[in-house]
Structure 1
């Protein structure tokens, strides 16, 4: 894709399955990447995949000094910052039973962490003449889900934040968009399914028009596109990468009117 060669990206949560695929696709397009993740083991392993152009900086998104250190490391290593991709996420969610600390953790990682990273990176993006930010929303931001309060609320806030950021940063030639994946093969699905991808596909099938979970590469392709020159007139948008989840109503793939008429 155009406009990615020799640019610099920070990818939070870049050591995860989805985040790591975003890093790989950026790298293939000539973008240098700083991986900001709390997971040292997987972050270092990802860095070792590449001869150069990818650097891991262990970063806790709830700690402002660590965010600043990550930004400083990106500027020192690669000369600036053009893109921010906010993948990192907390899935702590016990619905009504969630206490204040859990709410603070969820919002601190899913929402506030990306804002604080932008605050630190903003002067460098302006100095480079602009850039692009991609936030991670979710299909969960648009629907009610039993027993889940924290995660959907945080993701709905991310989608609204994206619109507000896009409005205020347009003057700086910084585009801001979000992607909202459906069920995607990730560390969370791997864990809750016991590593059984076929089972994940079976459970997901009725809720996705395409009848399966998404692949990390499919979400990553959308992210890289939104940072590229091909998306130069797109800002303030939320791009569903969800296999039709968001468009499917409660009738799913059934035909209840036909059944009523029978």
Structure 2
């Protein structure tokens, strides 16, 4: 028996590298998963590759309320209920200080608002099943200022706050809500930035993370599975950093800028 044996789950953003790895880990631990994503081609491919018997793909635009309603209704009809929700859908739409109001609202809608609205829709079904677990994917970008992100950072910081409030609001329904904050993970954006060169990515990670490398998607998936499982039954309203120690160190980043002064 796995940690999620018999659990029924929804994972949004499930067609991405991190999302699909989370789905795979949940299936391995005994869950049946509805993989929801706006990318239909990738979503169907991942569902078929992972386990057609245990993974169901649903094309979903998380910013459309009617599609969220349909996602929940179809999941309950097909699986008989919902025990776990992973809010992983995200956009990296970000033009720093030049970001338009339209793009600000789009980024907030995808990264923050849609997850909150889906959580509200799922909560009654979790309560009816005796409780459940929600895991929101936040980021180290929500905890530190970073040169590459501005709008994205704001949306992820907001997820940390929403997670705490959801944990409070849903505690009387037996629903635990936590978040996971990954650091640089071998993911779709990092693959695109490096042209698929993992060695290059780890070379950058050597100067950013105490682990001396970037993270693997499996390491994020293991954290999500833990928080979704009964092993985390006394954990709610908190954030689990899967960041190689990034947020444990200061702006000196492994001491390099100060080294000339110390030698």
Normalized against structure 1, the TM-score is what? Answer: 0.96
Provide structure 1 residue ranges, at least 5 long, that are not aligned to the other structure.
none
Give the 3-state SS of the residue equivalent to 1:161 in structure 2.
helix
1:235 aligns with 2:247: no
Q: CA deviation at 1:47?
A: 1.5
Conserved 8 A contact 1:22-1:223: yes
Counterparts of residues 143-158 of structure 1 (less than 5 Å): 143-146=144-147, 148-158=149-159
1:10-37 CA-to-partner distances (Å, cap 9, x unmatched) read 0000011011011011111111100110
CA distance in 1, matches of 2:21, 2:175: 23
1:49-90 CA-to-partner distances (Å, cap 9, x unmatched) read 214011000000100101111111111111000111011111
Corresponding position of 1:20 = 20
Corresponding position of 1:121 = 122
Q: CA deviation at 1:178?
A: 0.3
CA distance in 1, matches of 2:259, 2:161: 38
Give the 3-state SS of the residue equivalent to 1:84 in structure 2.
strand
CA distance in 1, matches of 2:127, 2:43: 28
Conserved 8 A contact 1:96-1:147: no
Give the 3-state SS of the residue equivalent to 2:177 in structure 1.
strand
Give the 3-state SS of the residue equivalent to 2:27 in structure 1.
helix
Conserved 8 A contact 2:2-2:30: no
Conserved 8 A contact 2:123-2:170: no
Conserved 8 A contact 1:71-1:120: yes
CA distance in 1, matches of 2:15, 2:248: 30
Q: CA deviation at 1:148?
A: 2.5
Are residues 164 and 90 of structure 1, via their aligned partners in 2, closer, same or farther at CA, if it must alter by over 3 Å? Answer: same
CA distance in 2, matches of 1:11, 1:173: 20
Corresponding position of 1:210 = 211
Are residues 13 and 258 of structure 1, via their aligned partners in 2, closer, same or farther at CA, if it must alter by over 3 Å? Answer: closer
1:104-126 CA-to-partner distances (Å, cap 9, x unmatched) read 11100100011111122222111
Are residues 147 and 243 of structure 1, via their aligned partners in 2, closer, same or farther at CA, if it must alter by over 3 Å? Answer: closer
Q: CA deviation at 1:220?
A: 0.2
Query: Moved runs in structure 1, 4+ residues, more than 4 A?
Result: 255-262
Corresponding position of 2:36 = 36
Corresponding position of 1:247 = 248
Give the 3-state SS of the residue equivalent to 1:24 in structure 2.
helix
Are residues 261 and 101 of structure 1, via their aligned partners in 2, closer, same or farther at CA, if it must alter by over 3 Å? Answer: closer
Conserved 8 A contact 1:5-1:30: yes
Counterparts of residues 120-139 of structure 1 (less than 5 Å): 120-139=121-140
Counterparts of residues 40-59 of structure 1 (less than 5 Å): 40-49=40-49, 50-59=51-60
